[in-house]
Amino acid sequence: MPASILIVVDELAIAELLAANIKHARYHPLQVRDVDAANALIAEVLPDLIVLDWMLPETSGPVFLRALRADSRTREVPVIVLTARSEEKDSLDSHEASADDYVSRPFSPKELVARIKAVLRRRAPQLTNDAVTVNGLTLDPRAHRVYVKENGVELPAYPGPTEFKLLHFFLTYPERVHSRALILDQVWGDHAFIAERTVDEHIKRLRSVLKPIGCEAIIETVRGSGYRLTRVPLPHRIENAA
pLDDT band at residue 173, thresholds of 50, 70 and 90? Answer: confident
CA atoms within 13 A on the CB side of 6: 24
Q: Catalogue all structural domains in the chain, each as residue range(s) with its CATH number.
A: 4-127 (3.40.50.2300), 132-229 (1.10.10.10)
pLDDT tens digits for 187-200? 887 666 778 889 99
| pLDDT at position 191 | 64
| pLDDT at position 171 | 92
Buried b (16+ CB within 10 A) or exposed e, 89-104: ebbebbeebebbbbbb
CB 10 within 8 A of CB 56: yes
How many Å apart are CA 104 and CA 108, to the nearest integer? 10
pLDDT tens digits for 1-58? 578 899 999 999 999 999 999 999 988 999 999 999 999 999 888 888 999 998 888 8
Closest by Cα among 168, 67, 169 to 79: 67
State the average pLDDT over residues 86-112.
72
Is the pTM higher than 0.85? The answer reads no
State the average pLDDT over residues 81-86.
75
How many Å apart are CA 143 and CA 159, to the nearest integer? 13
pLDDT tens digits for 113-123? 999 988 887 87
| pLDDT at position 238 | 47
Partners of 53 in the β-ladder: 82
Does 126 have pLDDT greater than 60? yes
| pLDDT at position 30 | 95
29: CB partners within 8 A, 6+ apart: 4, 5, 7, 18, 19, 22, 23
| pLDDT at position 17 | 94
